[in-house]
Structure 1
Amino acid sequence: MGQGTEYTGRYVIALDPSEQESGFNALRSSADIAPVERVRGAAVANAVELLERPNVSVLFEGLAVAIVEVRPEQRHTLVATAEAEASILAAEPERKVHASPITAPQQAPTEFFPAYRSDEDVVTRHSRIEIATSQGPVVEEENTTWGLQAIRATISGMTGRGVKIAVLDTGVDTDHPDLVGCIQETASFVFGETVEDVHGHGTHCIGTAAGPANPQQQPRYGVATEARVLAGKVLNRVGDGTDGQILAGMAWAIDRGARVISLSLGAPVRPGELFPQTYELAAQLALTRGAVIVAAAGNSSLRPGFVAPVERPANCPSILAVASLDKALQTASTSCGGINGQGGEVNIAAPGKVVHSAAVGGGYVTMSGTSMAAPHVAGVLALLSQGNPDASAAELTASLLSGAFPLTQLARDVGVGLLQAP
């Protein structure tokens, strides 16, 4: 296939963890791939420079995933080799990542084009939330946000103390007075940029997942108020990036002991399109290492007339797909639905409309979208992990889903229902 605006020209290769060398030997001998640089442990944080080099393939040994450089005339041979070689589990074109605010489409799209992005659909800057909704009763948010009230985080006995949540996004405002206490470690996987967030999306998501119990200015907006945050920048200052940067961030987070990895980004998929196998294999490996991956379901719908499929990578069977709810606990008009099977289902729903959280510059902002719903789930997973520190990732996931509050909407739109804190 040719290199288009949504692809980088590189390939993502998933390898059998116990046969990584065999897979690379096969690719080297047949497809003449670029020389391989192996990264593991602390070296993962330095992968950004390797990913930027045009004649290097990068293997993340902890994930058994590689980003491979191959000449255009060798791409067909690479794919054929991957299909024939048992030690190569999947080979897929690397997609670009694009992050930008999204508004509801003016009409139902007739074709989807893959592009990652942070997926808030409304950004309204306020220093204080005024709550009123025509869809339901007024919600008082003087002390705590409507989202924390809806998921019962305000009455939970857990705080997420000692649990690590990785938020892979546009970085973080490391000087925000509400967040300086929760950031344990940072890393940028964007060449030429520090982890400092100038976009705003990552800071907002981190605030929702782990903002403090007593912020500089009320209301409280953080779910797991004593969790530790691993802030990884995988999207640049304008919200662009690649699969390689996201996978590098995942490898880093797992190596650092993250119990939860929150991905508020996505790319539209076509009806019937299969989930990305490379992400699924990486997610399966993450689960064996004790990490649950949560991802935004996406904001490509135009309800009630058009419901778009859950986006990638949330459409992977081993990644939790999170839908967005408004204050009346109705499905947000742009929230994607479980149109595709084989992992493309919505797993759970969480507050995502008019969500108040931290903003770049030390203030606050309200945003809307499944991007805002996903970190609510990440925070609750941290609470569950604190309550049962020896639980496996699969057990944490089961506890999360079994504790949801049933809603009247179709499972296609809200999964098991409304997220609930333990």
Structure 2
Amino acid sequence: MANGPMDRRAFGEQPNRPSGPVGGQGSEYTGRYVILLDPSNQESGLNALRSSADIASVERVRGTETANVAELLERPDISVHFEDLAAAVVEVRPEQRHALVTTAETENSIIAAEPERMVYASPITAPQQAPTEFFPAYRSDEEVVARQSKAEAAAFQGPAWDEQNTTWGLQAIRANISGMTGRDVKIAVLDTGVDTDHPDLIRCIEETASFVQGESVEDVFGHGTHCIGTAAGPAKPQTGPRYGVAPDARVLAGKVLDNNGSGTDGQILAGMAWAVARGARVISMSLGAPVKPGELFPQVYEILARRALERGTLIVAAAGNDSRRPGRIDPVNRPANCPSILAVGALDKAMQTAFFSCGGINSQGGEVNIAAPGVDVHSAAPGGGYQRFMGTSMATPHVAGVVALLVQANPNASAAELKASLLSSAFPLMQPIRDVGSGLLQAP
């Protein structure tokens, strides 16, 4: 292609789109394709797909529009064009997929074309004396985790931390002694929604949007509420210790995962377009899907992350929870494995790499960039209460919150400068760079 090198494996034909609820074993692909277009010549690419692959009727959506996006993404007779991103999610009949692939390879105005995939954020049973974890729905390892002895579980909790006033995670990253609060900085959290009535979070919610058909932004799953609480919970919560990194930040809560913790690339793209259009300085994505050793990063997410950086938005994402250390270390999940997305690994209370945290097995973007607290993390829960979870999902909003603090400290910094500052200020750790990147996240 004239627009530069691309992973040709992205053009493979995939199974039909599943019917019924998304997620679960055997539904890694939806049957749709995600198309990345030349921003200066979007219509040419769409016209080429119309004429050669007979794609479904195209509905144009701007990032500021949210009302009908979820419904459009579920209609088999509609392809959705996100103009602000220069990207589209297209419906194509199975017999036309070869034509779509061929057109994408030869048409200069089409930069990338990849099969749309599922993304997840789901819990499994945790070992005794350890908190609930979040793992991909199709990688259930209950038996492996359950075999941990009580002694191992106790050791995993690490040394005692005094959490009477502040959670151990905020202490570890020094957010509790920072002079910054993230005042008025916008953090977008793309997840399972939020408990909009939680007394701790009412003040920080700037705007909400659901990109899941038939579901409001209200968080049934609990994952999104927990992440939002970690990023921007109040300095003085209703009860218990402070748990929010940037208590004066403003949150854009985008529901891109359904009430079962599953979503699609199209829903993620819709949330990204909305977040960038609404002025988010950082997008926090505690979601993803496993990749194989040697698998390249997705071109669509990488190029969109670069475009977001150019517009002042840094994207941070969970590295993934598929490892079972010390015996097995799995690669960083997608989309965190993109070079322009900051991949976040998880640490336990002993400042050791959490046993589930994925590592930098793959090169070219598959590295862990930074590590943050991700075990026994106390934060908000639906219903106005609190829960303790663990996972790289929990580490990621710690990073998003610190980005908000950095923006407050230097409002004119570019997204690239924010990223560089974040990495350069990390506290070096003894673990391999493969597992912790630059080291332990530190607040300014």
State the partner residue of 2:438.
416
Give distance in 2, aligned partners of 1:416 and 1:73.
47
What letter is aligned with 2:398?
H
1:19-58 deviation digits (Å, cap 9, x = unpaired): 1111111111111111111111422453112112111110
Give distance in 2, aligned partners of 1:120 and 1:152.
34
Q: Of 388, 395, 407, which aligns to 2:429?
A: 407
User: Offset at 1:104?
Assistant: 8.4
Q: Of 386, 392, 396, which aligns to 1:364?
A: 386
State the partner residue of 2:308.
286
User: Would you say the 8 A contact 2:59–2:81 is kept in 1?
Assistant: yes
User: Offset at 1:239?
Assistant: 1.1
Structure 1 pair 387–118 and aligned structure 2 pair: CA distance change class (3 A): farther
State the partner residue of 1:342.
364
Structure 1 pair 282–335 and aligned structure 2 pair: CA distance change class (3 A): same
**Superposition RMSD on alpha carbons, in Å?**
2.2
Structure 1 pair 119–5 and aligned structure 2 pair: CA distance change class (3 A): closer
What letter is aligned with 1:354?
D
% identical equivalent positions:
76
The secondary structure found in structure 1 opposite 2:231 is helix
Structure 1 pair 338–313 and aligned structure 2 pair: CA distance change class (3 A): same
Structure 1 pair 190–405 and aligned structure 2 pair: CA distance change class (3 A): same
State the partner residue of 2:109.
87
The secondary structure found in structure 2 opposite 1:165 is strand
Q: Of 365, 387, 393, which aligns to 2:415?
A: 393
State the partner residue of 2:294.
272
State the partner residue of 2:177.
155
What letter is aligned with 2:71?
E
State the partner residue of 1:222.
244
Give distance in 1, aligned partners of 2:364 and 2:383.
42
1:312-337 deviation digits (Å, cap 9, x = unpaired): 00000110000000001000001000
What letter is aligned with 1:225?
P
State the partner residue of 1:183.
205
Q: Of 186, 193, 202, which aligns to 2:215?
A: 193
What letter is aligned with 1:7?
Y
Structure 1 pair 138–368 and aligned structure 2 pair: CA distance change class (3 A): same
User: Would you say the 8 A contact 1:99–1:117 is kept in 2?
Assistant: no
State the partner residue of 2:353.
331
User: Offset at 1:86?
Assistant: 1.2
User: Offset at 1:380?
Assistant: 0.1
User: Would you say the 8 A contact 1:119–1:299 is kept in 2?
Assistant: no
User: Would you say the 8 A contact 1:209–1:224 is kept in 2?
Assistant: yes
User: Offset at 1:135?
Assistant: 6.4
State the partner residue of 2:5.
none
Q: Of 64, 89, 95, which aligns to 1:73?
A: 95
User: Would you say the 8 A contact 1:118–1:265 is kept in 2?
Assistant: no
Alignment of 1:367-378 (within 5 A): 367-378=389-400
User: Would you say the 8 A contact 1:133–1:327 is kept in 2?
Assistant: no
User: Offset at 1:77?
Assistant: 1.0
State the partner residue of 1:128.
none
Alignment of 1:297-336 (within 5 A): 297-336=319-358
Gaps of 5+ in 1: 106-113, 124-131
Question: What's the TM-score, normalizing by structure 1?
Answer: 0.93
User: Offset at 1:289?
Assistant: 1.0
The secondary structure found in structure 2 opposite 1:309 is coil
The secondary structure found in structure 2 opposite 1:101 is strand
Gaps of 5+ in 2: 1-12, 17-25, 128-134, 146-153
User: Would you say the 8 A contact 1:33–1:70 is kept in 2?
Assistant: yes
Structure 1 pair 357–75 and aligned structure 2 pair: CA distance change class (3 A): same
User: Would you say the 8 A contact 2:230–2:245 is kept in 1?
Assistant: yes
Corresponding residue pairs, total: 407
Alignment of 1:200-215 (within 5 A): 200-215=222-237
Give distance in 2, aligned partners of 1:44 and 1:393.
25
State the partner residue of 1:29.
51
Give distance in 2, aligned partners of 1:182 and 1:117.
33
1:131-184 deviation digits (Å, cap 9, x = unpaired): x85764311000000000000001100000010000000000000000000000
The secondary structure found in structure 2 opposite 1:386 is helix
In the alignment, structure 1 residue 236 sits paired with structure 2 residue 248: no
More deviation in 284-293 or 33-42? 33-42
Give distance in 1, aligned partners of 2:88 and 2:269.
9
State the partner residue of 2:275.
253
Give distance in 2, aligned partners of 1:207 and 1:318.
25
What letter is aligned with 1:17?
P
